[in-house]
Structure 1
Amino acid sequence: MLRKLSYSTLLAIIIGLIALDFAWLNIGLIIDQRFGDVLQRQLAQSRPASNDIIIIDIDQKSLEEMNEKAESGSWPWPRSIHGEMVQYIAAQNPKAIVFDILFNEPDTFRPEHDQILQQSIADLKNVYFPYQKLPDGDGKKLADLPKSLGILPNPNANKAARATLLLPNVIQQEKWQGGLINFNADSDGIGRYYLAHANVDGWLIPSLPDKLARDFNWPKHDAERTRLNWQTGRQHIPFSDVYLAANSEQSNRPANEFSNKIVIIGTAAPGLQDLRPTSMGQLYPGVEILATAIDNRKHGDWLRDVPRIYFIVVALLLCSLLAWGFAINLNTMTLAASMLGISLLAALSMWLGLKHYYFLPLASAIAWAWLYFWVAALVSYLAEKATREHAIALFSRFLDSRVVGELISSGEIDLHKPAEAREITVLFSDIRGFTTLSESHDAAYIVQLLNRYFTLQVEIIFKHGGTLDKFIGDAIMAFWGAPANDPEHARHAIEAALEMSQALEQFKLELKDLNAHFDVGIGIHTGSAVVGFIGSESRLDYTVIGDTVNLSSRIEGLTKGKARILVSDSTRAACAEHFNFIEHGSHTVKGREQAVQLFEPQEKNQ
């Protein structure tokens, strides 16, 4: 009962921790996210990026070649270079030209280059610029910003709402077409979501992917952020390759390579510090993140978050099932194997979910279940250890301590097992002449003498696999056949009795100077008796009760004047082939109507 209470208490604690984590700690959320990252990295290898989105990459090679061959100088380049690039790409009729470069501050030293960029996009309607929302500052009134930014009010929007935005101030306002590129990390520092739109007092400020989705009628997405579905193998073309080809009389670039494509101009160069930690790795280019977000919106294959509350229920169910399993004493290895199977099934479910564009936060549910399992297994182990130690201490009083551990391990000894009827053999041994001996010697000497005698005889009983029941004054009661199953319990009891008789002769030689008669009588009977822990809740003894016990005691009483050892006919019949038996006739005993036939056992070689 105490163990069951422990499992219930542990379940209540785990439920409390799950509730606390769901409401505040978010450890389970991080577990789900991190395991999801592992799966996504694996899946991304078999999920190629679409070929209709191309990145023109300002990589390290481009920085070096533009400085050497185009005489652009170090970064940031004159904006006329971007203008020339736009003109070259636009001539091939792309679906959209998207910058992943902020143009929020004019070039005070080269204003003419800003004008060239403005002129290059003057007649184009498919060039998109990024802007960012900052957390601080009063900012501009959203109602006053150009409609080309795509900022839309809800019916209840605050008309005085403001936001601090890094807008493309280099570009003329009528060309401020674009959206936010804010990419914020989760609580563990890893970025997994791209902003769909920012809600500022009822005003919806679109992200750059969301603005493209509106303009090109891509699948709608109403949530404020999008869980990215990562891909690999996107086409990257070094900026310098395209720019130098555009300014060459004999270009080696494929004709119309940007036709009907979404062309993103951004940087993956480490020195330009546009690298972010994501599910795909510690450092991931911001331009690749933007391309992934645009790709997901275009094809509608972003990951849909399934509400975590459903999987909190799964965690509670698993923990409850484990509590039940431990409470009914299911094998711990069976429970562990079941948990392993459930864990593999959960991992497979998450994998399949990701393949079908759903994120299933099952990892935390499994983690909570494993936490319960390991703590409950520890409780079970400690309880089992305490029970085992208690049983060893208890049974060592009755059995040879060398075999107690083996019996407990095999399950033959169970403190919780109810008493049961078993076929056993009971032995009673009583000292003759003890009264005379005690009258002629002091009590301390008699106790010392008894202890020596009992130690000698109990060692023999244990040697032959017997169970010591109790000492009754100067008498010994033992039995065979329980708790360990012993098909030859009658034989082993007689063998013990014969050796006890031989040991007594040696013991009597040590006492010859006492000048007192000292002998024993041993009675043995085989039959059915109730065996088990019997007594009160506060005091239990492992003992036997029944007529078999009474009869063996009566037989011991009949040994005087007949033989040192007498056994009943049922004992003789159980092992007749192992000993010689001398018949001593039938005798009436108290409490039985039928006479009892008695025999004296002797070793075969006598």
Structure 2
Amino acid sequence: MALAFGALAIVDFGRFGFSRIIDQRGGDIALALHARSRPASDRVVFVDIDQKSLEDMNDLAGSWPWPRSVHGEIIDAIERQHPRAIVFDVLFNEPDIYRPEHDAAFVDAVARNPNVWLAMSLNADGEGAWVSAMPAGAGARPAGAGVRDARVPLMLPLVVASRPEAMRGGLINFTPDSDGVGRHHSLWLERKGWRFPSLPAQVMASLGRPLPPQQRVLLNWRSSWRHVSFADVYLDSLRERPQRPRDEFRDRIVVIGTAAPGLLDLRVTPLSSTYPGAQVLATAIDNLDRGDWLRELPRSAMLPLVLALIGLVGLGFARQVTAGRLMAILIGATAVVLAGGWVLLGRGTFVPIFAALAYAWAFYIAGVGLAYLEERTKRLRTSQMFKRFLDPNVVSDLIERGEFDHRNTAQAREISVLFSDIRGFTSLSEVSTPEDVVALLNAYFSRQVDVIFAHSGTLDKFIGDAIMAFWGAPLEQPDHAVRAVNAALDMSVALETMRGQMDGLASTLEIGIGIHTGRAVVGFIGSSDRLDYTVIGDTVNLASRVEGLTKGIARVLVTQTTRDAAGDAFDWRDVGLYSVKGREEQVRLYEPLRKDDT
């Protein structure tokens, strides 16, 4: 499975990037947390056309959009404090045909203040104007050699078209990533072979600030901005004695835009799904001015990390490390990776680590899940197999405790083996119908097996009308001989009860039970398709021979080794020495008696 995850990661990080969304979402959390450690900029001031401004300016300027002269007046008011630049995040692309005098006042203000920059927008469709006819202030440049003139749908601030020197600006296009979240700023956009610079790039170029060579940069967000209400600045400028600080805009870049919800200039960013577009522009300007935009490692550079993490988890599975311990190791590795990513982020480099961590955890969860399913399957298989031999309740308890399973190999154990056989069963079968014989056997076996299970015995098999059982495996039972003898005596009692409760064949049943204690090989024995939990060895053969000697002597007989192993738990009647087929020495046999029966 490690190879499968590794191959998937190679394909993902090398080409397709289908886990990119994980890096994006995880990166958003990291960027938002990092922004909290960055205070408001001391270089950029945001003059906000907020809801307060819309209300306070209503009596003086009417409803939005205000006459353009209002913007001209605020330009003059701010310029008196000598800012580095005034940047409008407001489009002035359509002249006001009903109030041309106000447009003229605005144009004059922009023309006489060369550090004022206006917003432009590159549309996705439309025919547009010829690039060759656009003013130099639009900043259009050919993207390569041999580029021909073309029509491009660039929205220019046509309000100032009468004064070409006032046509200074750049693009304010919001360029979201593949998931619709804006994390980057594009320094230029290309259309039909032409490059159009962004408004922040134009401003920085005019201020002599070096620009990054790449087309876009990852924004280094701030927790807040120095925020000034447009109405407060404008109305204060109308007073004979202004009350606001005289140097609040000195040597700063002033961004004029809107955060009022009703004006709908809200964007989806790592910080918020309703982040003011003007503050996105302010972030780009601040980053480029300071040169502290985030350097971003490509996702392909994370391939060694993801393979190393997959290898770590795979090694844990290969060495059969417990799931809990492997989880602790993976948590530690995750903490190290996250800490490293955080340190690098603080130093200005964003590392997309989250998909790599997701692969490692997905591999761990898949591995643990498969191991659980495999273990559960094996437990069910073991349960089904052992329930043929043991009390089902005992089986479930022992499997949960992990005391045995079907994978255990056969082993030599000290056990006590019991054989029980019906006397004269062949004669009974000859005088009875097959249905009566089967019904009798089922009733007899049910009672006898219940007795065996009640004494924690293991049912080996039915051999015709005979029962084979043993004690001492798979459970460790130091008193296995005592349990076997008790079971034999209770099997005798169960037979008497059955004979008293049933008529016909049942009333004439007689059995013999033989028990021998010794070492035998115990375990699952058979083919890969058919396994039986059984015992083999001389101990089994002798127990069978002892059962055959019970006729005419006693219903239950045990060997000397069983008597010695059971000790004083019973009274014993010595029935003498007997020759047993396959043994040169005679075997001494005993009839067990309960102490309260003597």
Give the corresponding residue for 2:556. 565
In structure 2, relative to structure 1, the CA distance for the partners of 1:443 and 1:267 (3 Å cut) is closer
User: 1:182: how far off?
Assistant: 0.6
1:285 counterpart = 2:273:
no
Alpha-carbon distance in 2 for matches of 1:422, 1:481: 7
1:176 and 2:170 are equivalent in the alignment? no
Unaligned runs of 5+ in 2: none
Percent identity (aligned): 48
Of 121, 139, 147 in structure 2, the residue corresponding to residue 158 of structure 1 is: 147
Cα distance per residue 1:353-378 (max 9 Å; x no partner): 44333333333344455555556655
Pair 1:261-2:238 in alignment: no
Counterpart in 1 of 2:119? 130
Q: Which moved more, 1:236-245 or 1:573-582?
A: 573-582
Return the letter of the residue paired with 2:474: P
Deviation at 1:271, TM superposition (A): 2.4
The whole-number CA distance in structure 1 between the counterparts of 2:321 and 2:218 is 41
Give 1:127 deviation, angstroms.
Answer: 1.9
* Structure 1 gap segments, 5+ residues each: 1-6
Q: Partner of 2:523: helix, strand, or coil?
A: strand
What is the CA-CA distance between 1:492 and the residue it aligns to?
0.9
* Gap change, CA 1:551 and 1:161, over 3 Å in 2: farther
- State the Cα deviation string for residues 212-239 of structure 1 (Å, max 9, x = none): 3333344532332222222123111111
- Post-superposition shift, 1:586? 4.9
Shift of 1:584: 4.4
1:84 equivalent to 2:77? Answer no
Q: Give 1:21 deviation, angstroms.
A: 10
State whether structure 2 residue 469 is matched by structure 1 residue 467: no
Partner SS, residue 278 of structure 1: coil
Residue type at the aligned position of 2:123: L
Against the structure 1 CA distance between its residues 95 and 555, is the aligned structure 2 distance closer, same or farther, given a 3 Å change threshold? same
1:306 counterpart (287, 297, 317): 297
Amino acid corresponding to residue 65 of structure 1 in structure 2: D
For residue 115 of structure 1, what is the aligned residue in structure 2?
104
Find the counterpart in structure 2 of residue 448 from structure 1. Answer: 439
8 Å Cα contact 2:152/2:191 also seen in 1: yes
Letter of the 1:550 counterpart: N
**Match 1:524 to one of 515, 519, 529:** 515
Q: Which residue of 1 aligns with 2:89?
A: 100
Report the number of matched residues. Answer: 595
Instruction: Show the 5 A alignment for 1:143-222.
Output: 145-156=134-145, 158-171=147-160, 172-218=163-209, 220-222=211-213
Comparing 222-231 with 372-381, greater Cα deviation is found at 372-381
Contact 2:32 2:270 in 1 (8 A): yes
For 2:222 and 2:268, the matched residues in 1 are separated by 15
In structure 1, the partner of 2:227 is 236
Once the two structures are superposed, residues 223-256 of structure 1 have per-residue CA deviations (whole angstroms, 9 ceiling, x without a partner) of 3222222212311111122122222111111122
- Cα deviation, 1:511-562, whole Å, max 9, x if unaligned, reads 7976997533322222222222211122221111122212222232333444
Contact preservation (8 Å) 2:499, 2:507: no
Match of 1:4 in 2: none
CA contact 2:82–2:250 (8 Å) conserved in 1 = yes
Measure, in 2, the Cα distance between the counterparts of 1:189 and 1:512. Answer: 86
The one-letter code of the counterpart of 2:389 is F
Moved more, 14-23 or 436-445: 14-23
2:414 is the alignment partner of 1:423: yes
Look up the match of 1:3: none
Match of 1:494 in 2: 485
Over residues 350-401 of structure 1, what are the superposed CA-to-partner deviations in whole Å (9 max), with x where a residue is unaligned?
A: 5444433333333334445555555665555555444444433332221112
RMSD: 3.3
Call closer, same or farther: CA 1:214–1:481 in 2, change over 3 Å: farther
Give the AA of the match of 1:167. L
The amino acid that maps onto 1:230 is W
Contact 1:181 1:195 in 2 (8 A): no
Distance 1:451 1:509 in 2: 17
Equivalent residue letter for 2:287: N
Deviation string, structure 1 residues 420-463 (Cα, Å, up to 9, x no partner): 22222211122233333334434433333232222221111111
Deviates more, 1:484-493 or 1:332-341: 332-341
| Alpha-carbon separation, structure 1, partners of 2:166 and 2:399 | 85
Q: In the alignment, what sits opposite 1:410?
A: 401
Taking the aligned partners of 2:101 and 2:221, their CA distance within structure 1 comes to 40
- Could you state the TM-score of these two structures normalised by the residue count of structure 2? 0.88
SS of 1:50 mapped into structure 2: coil
